[in-house]
Amino acid sequence: MKNATITLRISKDLKEEMDLILENEKSSQSEFIREAIDKYISLKKFHYLRKKVLPYAESKGFLMDEDIFKNL
């Protein structure tokens, strides 16, 4: 897989927050940002799929997440 380069501008406050985390976790900026973007994309995909299947789930009586686990 080829890597792509992105230039990103963030606020000074956000950069300071990120630096504190990086210092504690001994991680690189690139790894931190890759992980953050990956998690964000996964969350967006989850919300999209959940919204798409929600009408079908509700028609079967699955109104809350707990309803799914009750039927496992």
Range 6-27 burial, b when 16+ CB lie within 10 A, else e: eeeeeeeeeeeebeeeeeeeee
Residue 32 in contact with residue 21, Cβ under 8 Å? yes
pLDDT at 14 over 90: yes
pLDDT digits (tens, 9 = 90+) for 53-66: 888 887 877 777 77
Which pLDDT value is given to residue 42? 96
pLDDT digits (tens, 9 = 90+) for 19-57: 999 999 888 999 999 999 999 999 999 999 888 888 888
Residue type, 18: M
- Residue 2: strand, helix, or coil: coil
